[in-house]
Chain A
Amino acid sequence: MKTLALLATILTGAILLYGTADFAPWGDPESPPNRHLSTYYIEQAVKETHVPNLVTALLGDYRGYDTMFELVVIYCAGMGVIAVLRRSDS
Protein backbone atom coordinates (compact mmCIF):
# COMPACT_ATOMS: atom_id res chain seq x y z
CA MET A 1 0.00 0.00 0.00
CA LYS A 2 2.81 2.37 0.84
CA THR A 3 4.57 1.55 -2.42
CA LEU A 4 1.35 2.19 -4.28
CA ALA A 5 0.93 5.57 -2.61
CA LEU A 6 4.54 6.46 -3.38
CA LEU A 7 4.05 5.45 -7.02
CA ALA A 8 0.89 7.55 -7.28
CA THR A 9 2.71 10.54 -5.74
CA ILE A 10 5.67 10.23 -8.08
CA LEU A 11 3.39 9.80 -11.10
CA THR A 12 1.31 12.85 -10.20
CA GLY A 13 4.46 14.88 -9.58
CA ALA A 14 5.90 13.82 -12.94
CA ILE A 15 2.69 14.79 -14.75
CA LEU A 16 2.66 18.18 -13.01
CA LEU A 17 6.32 18.77 -13.86
CA TYR A 18 5.61 17.80 -17.46
CA GLY A 19 2.76 20.31 -17.47
CA THR A 20 5.02 23.16 -16.36
CA ALA A 21 6.99 22.74 -19.59
CA ASP A 22 4.11 24.41 -21.45
CA PHE A 23 4.04 27.49 -19.22
CA ALA A 24 4.84 30.81 -20.80
CA PRO A 25 8.49 31.80 -20.27
CA TRP A 26 9.07 33.67 -17.03
CA GLY A 27 8.94 37.44 -17.51
CA ASP A 28 8.13 37.25 -21.22
CA PRO A 29 6.19 40.45 -22.09
CA GLU A 30 4.74 38.78 -25.19
CA SER A 31 3.22 35.77 -23.37
CA PRO A 32 -0.60 35.51 -23.54
CA PRO A 33 -1.28 36.32 -19.84
CA ASN A 34 0.91 39.40 -20.07
CA ARG A 35 -0.74 40.60 -23.26
CA HIS A 36 -4.34 40.24 -22.16
CA LEU A 37 -4.92 39.95 -18.41
CA SER A 38 -2.09 41.97 -16.92
CA THR A 39 -2.63 45.00 -19.13
CA TYR A 40 -6.37 44.89 -18.45
CA TYR A 41 -5.87 44.79 -14.69
CA ILE A 42 -3.20 47.50 -14.71
CA GLU A 43 -5.36 49.81 -16.82
CA GLN A 44 -8.81 49.09 -15.40
CA ALA A 45 -8.50 47.85 -11.81
CA VAL A 46 -8.28 51.25 -10.12
CA LYS A 47 -11.04 52.62 -12.33
CA GLU A 48 -13.33 49.67 -11.63
CA THR A 49 -12.77 49.16 -7.91
CA HIS A 50 -11.38 52.46 -6.54
CA VAL A 51 -8.69 50.50 -4.70
CA PRO A 52 -5.24 52.02 -5.29
CA ASN A 53 -3.48 48.80 -4.23
CA LEU A 54 -3.69 46.52 -7.26
CA VAL A 55 -2.83 43.43 -5.25
CA THR A 56 -5.76 43.96 -2.89
CA ALA A 57 -8.11 44.73 -5.77
CA LEU A 58 -7.11 41.51 -7.53
CA LEU A 59 -7.22 39.29 -4.44
CA GLY A 60 -10.42 40.72 -3.03
CA ASP A 61 -12.46 41.29 -6.17
CA TYR A 62 -11.29 39.69 -9.40
CA ARG A 63 -9.85 36.65 -7.63
CA GLY A 64 -12.43 36.50 -4.86
CA TYR A 65 -12.97 32.77 -5.18
CA ASP A 66 -9.28 32.15 -4.62
CA THR A 67 -9.19 34.28 -1.48
CA MET A 68 -12.38 32.76 -0.15
CA PHE A 69 -11.12 29.23 -0.46
CA GLU A 70 -7.75 30.24 0.97
CA LEU A 71 -9.66 31.23 4.08
CA VAL A 72 -11.62 27.97 3.91
CA VAL A 73 -8.35 26.01 3.70
CA ILE A 74 -7.05 27.72 6.84
CA TYR A 75 -10.43 27.19 8.51
CA CYS A 76 -10.37 23.47 7.63
CA ALA A 77 -6.83 23.17 8.98
CA GLY A 78 -7.92 24.69 12.28
CA MET A 79 -11.03 22.55 12.54
CA GLY A 80 -9.02 19.44 11.64
CA VAL A 81 -6.47 20.09 14.36
CA ILE A 82 -9.28 20.72 16.86
CA ALA A 83 -11.02 17.49 15.83
CA VAL A 84 -7.86 15.42 16.13
CA LEU A 85 -6.14 16.92 19.17
CA ARG A 86 -8.51 18.80 21.46
CA ARG A 87 -9.49 16.84 24.54
CA SER A 88 -10.89 19.47 26.89
CA ASP A 89 -14.48 20.30 27.73
CA SER A 90 -14.11 24.06 27.83
Chain B
Amino acid sequence: MKSLQALAQNGGGDNLILQTTIRLTVPFIQLFGLYVIVHGHYSPGGGFQGGVLLGAAFILIALGYDLPTSKRYFPVRTNAILANSGALIFAGIATLCALLGGYFLDYSILTRLLPIDPIEWRSLGIFLVEVGVGLGVMCIMLSLYWDMASGGQMEEGL
Protein backbone atom coordinates (compact mmCIF):
# COMPACT_ATOMS: atom_id res chain seq x y z
CA MET B 1 0.00 0.00 0.00
CA LYS B 2 2.73 2.37 0.99
CA SER B 3 4.73 1.68 -2.14
CA LEU B 4 1.63 2.31 -4.25
CA GLN B 5 1.23 5.74 -2.66
CA ALA B 6 4.90 6.49 -3.23
CA LEU B 7 4.53 5.37 -6.82
CA ALA B 8 1.57 7.68 -7.34
CA GLN B 9 3.34 10.61 -5.75
CA ASN B 10 6.40 10.15 -7.92
CA GLY B 11 4.25 10.31 -11.00
CA GLY B 12 5.06 6.68 -11.69
CA GLY B 13 1.42 5.69 -11.58
CA ASP B 14 0.93 6.05 -15.31
CA ASN B 15 -0.75 2.99 -16.67
CA LEU B 16 -0.20 2.11 -20.32
CA ILE B 17 -3.43 0.09 -20.59
CA LEU B 18 -5.48 2.86 -18.99
CA GLN B 19 -3.94 5.59 -21.11
CA THR B 20 -4.29 3.67 -24.35
CA THR B 21 -7.93 2.89 -23.57
CA ILE B 22 -8.63 6.52 -22.80
CA ARG B 23 -6.85 7.68 -25.95
CA LEU B 24 -8.95 5.31 -28.05
CA THR B 25 -12.31 5.97 -26.38
CA VAL B 26 -12.21 9.75 -25.90
CA PRO B 27 -13.00 10.55 -29.58
CA PHE B 28 -16.03 8.27 -29.46
CA ILE B 29 -17.23 9.77 -26.18
CA GLN B 30 -16.97 13.23 -27.72
CA LEU B 31 -18.77 12.08 -30.87
CA PHE B 32 -21.53 10.60 -28.74
CA GLY B 33 -21.73 13.84 -26.74
CA LEU B 34 -22.22 15.83 -29.96
CA TYR B 35 -24.79 13.28 -31.10
CA VAL B 36 -26.73 13.64 -27.84
CA ILE B 37 -26.77 17.42 -28.24
CA VAL B 38 -27.86 17.57 -31.87
CA HIS B 39 -30.26 14.61 -31.59
CA GLY B 40 -32.04 16.08 -28.57
CA HIS B 41 -35.00 16.95 -30.82
CA TYR B 42 -35.73 13.32 -31.62
CA SER B 43 -34.51 11.24 -28.69
CA PRO B 44 -33.74 11.68 -25.00
CA GLY B 45 -30.87 14.09 -24.68
CA GLY B 46 -30.06 17.74 -25.08
CA GLY B 47 -27.57 20.34 -24.04
CA PHE B 48 -27.07 19.33 -20.43
CA GLN B 49 -26.57 15.64 -21.08
CA GLY B 50 -24.35 16.15 -24.11
CA GLY B 51 -22.35 18.83 -22.35
CA VAL B 52 -21.69 16.52 -19.43
CA LEU B 53 -20.50 13.81 -21.84
CA LEU B 54 -18.13 16.24 -23.58
CA GLY B 55 -16.83 17.47 -20.24
CA ALA B 56 -16.38 13.90 -19.00
CA ALA B 57 -14.18 13.13 -22.01
CA PHE B 58 -11.74 15.84 -20.95
CA ILE B 59 -11.98 14.83 -17.29
CA LEU B 60 -11.07 11.29 -18.39
CA ILE B 61 -7.89 12.66 -20.00
CA ALA B 62 -7.09 14.55 -16.79
CA LEU B 63 -7.65 11.40 -14.74
CA GLY B 64 -5.73 8.94 -16.90
CA TYR B 65 -2.85 11.22 -17.85
CA ASP B 66 -2.44 14.30 -15.67
CA LEU B 67 -3.84 17.76 -15.33
CA PRO B 68 -1.32 19.58 -17.57
CA THR B 69 -2.12 17.15 -20.40
CA SER B 70 -5.80 18.00 -20.25
CA LYS B 71 -4.85 21.68 -20.11
CA ARG B 72 -2.81 21.20 -23.28
CA TYR B 73 -5.81 19.70 -25.09
CA PHE B 74 -8.19 22.32 -23.69
CA PRO B 75 -6.39 25.50 -22.59
CA VAL B 76 -7.69 27.31 -19.52
CA ARG B 77 -8.27 30.50 -21.47
CA THR B 78 -10.34 28.71 -24.13
CA ASN B 79 -12.29 27.07 -21.34
CA ALA B 80 -13.15 30.41 -19.75
CA ILE B 81 -14.10 31.97 -23.10
CA LEU B 82 -16.32 29.03 -24.08
CA ALA B 83 -18.00 28.86 -20.67
CA ASN B 84 -18.93 32.51 -20.90
CA SER B 85 -20.02 32.31 -24.51
CA GLY B 86 -22.21 29.30 -23.72
CA ALA B 87 -24.23 31.30 -21.24
CA LEU B 88 -24.13 34.33 -23.55
CA ILE B 89 -25.48 32.37 -26.53
CA PHE B 90 -28.56 31.40 -24.53
CA ALA B 91 -29.16 34.82 -23.01
CA GLY B 92 -28.20 36.52 -26.28
CA ILE B 93 -30.70 34.60 -28.40
CA ALA B 94 -33.38 35.24 -25.78
CA THR B 95 -32.59 38.96 -25.75
CA LEU B 96 -32.42 39.07 -29.55
CA CYS B 97 -36.00 37.79 -29.66
CA ALA B 98 -37.03 40.63 -27.37
CA LEU B 99 -35.06 43.22 -29.38
CA LEU B 100 -36.69 42.10 -32.63
CA GLY B 101 -40.09 42.89 -31.18
CA GLY B 102 -41.25 39.55 -29.83
CA TYR B 103 -41.34 38.11 -26.38
CA PHE B 104 -38.21 37.13 -24.48
CA LEU B 105 -37.32 33.57 -25.62
CA ASP B 106 -40.02 33.57 -28.32
CA TYR B 107 -37.89 32.16 -31.14
CA SER B 108 -40.56 32.51 -33.83
CA ILE B 109 -39.87 36.25 -34.08
CA LEU B 110 -36.37 35.43 -35.37
CA THR B 111 -38.04 34.90 -38.73
CA ARG B 112 -37.34 38.62 -39.28
CA LEU B 113 -33.62 37.76 -39.38
CA LEU B 114 -33.87 34.79 -41.69
CA PRO B 115 -37.21 34.38 -43.40
CA ILE B 116 -38.12 30.76 -42.84
CA ASP B 117 -41.28 29.36 -41.31
CA PRO B 118 -41.78 30.71 -37.75
CA ILE B 119 -42.48 27.21 -36.49
CA GLU B 120 -39.22 26.00 -38.01
CA TRP B 121 -37.53 28.88 -36.21
CA ARG B 122 -38.92 27.64 -32.91
CA SER B 123 -37.33 24.27 -33.60
CA LEU B 124 -34.07 25.88 -34.73
CA GLY B 125 -34.07 28.26 -31.76
CA ILE B 126 -34.28 25.34 -29.35
CA PHE B 127 -31.30 23.77 -31.12
CA LEU B 128 -29.19 26.94 -30.94
CA VAL B 129 -30.00 27.34 -27.28
CA GLU B 130 -29.07 23.71 -26.63
CA VAL B 131 -25.69 24.32 -28.23
CA GLY B 132 -25.13 27.17 -25.79
CA VAL B 133 -26.15 24.95 -22.89
CA GLY B 134 -23.79 22.20 -24.08
CA LEU B 135 -20.85 24.57 -24.37
CA GLY B 136 -21.43 26.07 -20.95
CA VAL B 137 -21.93 22.76 -19.17
CA MET B 138 -18.88 21.17 -20.81
CA CYS B 139 -16.54 23.98 -19.75
CA ILE B 140 -17.94 24.38 -16.25
CA MET B 141 -17.71 20.61 -15.63
CA LEU B 142 -14.06 20.57 -16.62
CA SER B 143 -13.20 23.73 -14.72
CA LEU B 144 -14.92 22.39 -11.59
CA TYR B 145 -12.84 19.23 -11.85
CA TRP B 146 -9.61 21.15 -12.38
CA ASP B 147 -10.14 23.33 -9.34
CA MET B 148 -11.47 20.63 -7.07
CA ALA B 149 -8.81 18.06 -7.94
CA SER B 150 -5.81 20.36 -7.66
CA GLY B 151 -7.05 22.62 -4.87
CA GLY B 152 -6.91 25.55 -7.26
CA GLN B 153 -3.21 25.13 -8.06
CA MET B 154 -4.03 23.79 -11.56
CA GLU B 155 -0.69 21.97 -11.69
CA GLU B 156 -1.24 18.43 -10.56
CA GLY B 157 -4.47 16.71 -9.86
CA LEU B 158 -5.54 13.25 -8.81
Q: Are these two chains actual partners, yes or no?
A: yes
Q: Give the interface of A toward B (CB within 8 A).
A: 48-53, 55-57, 59-61, 64-65, 67-68, 70-72, 74-75, 77-78, 81-82, 84-88, 90
Given contacts A55-B44, A61-B126, A77-B140, 17 further A-B contacts (CB under 8 A): A50-B119, A51-B122, A51-B126, A53-B41, A56-B130, A61-B105, A61-B125, A65-B104, A67-B90, A67-B129, A68-B129, A71-B133, A84-B152, A87-B154, A88-B153, A90-B76, A90-B77
A74–B107 CB distance below 8 A: no
Q: Give the interface of B toward A (CB within 8 A).
A: 40-48, 71, 76-77, 83, 86-87, 90-91, 94, 104-105, 107, 119-120, 122-123, 125-126, 129-130, 132-133, 136-137, 139-140, 143-144, 147-148, 151-155
Bound-complex Cα distance A18 to B122 (A): 39
Bound-complex Cα distance A72 to B45 (A): 19
Given contacts A75-B140, A81-B144, A90-B154, contact A53 B107 (CB under 8 A): no
Bound-complex Cα distance A49 to B104 (A): 16
Chain A interface SS verdict (over half) = helix
B119–A78 CB distance below 8 A: no
B43–A53 CB distance below 8 A: yes
Given contacts A71-B137, A74-B137, contact A87 B153 (CB under 8 A): yes
CB-CB under 8 A from B133, the residues of chain A are 67, 71
Nearest-CB residue, chain B, relative to A47: B119
B140–A56 CB distance below 8 A: no
A52–B41 CB distance below 8 A: yes
CB-CB under 8 A from B153, the residues of chain A are 87-88
Given contacts A53-B40, A61-B107, A85-B147, contact A75 B87 (CB under 8 A): yes
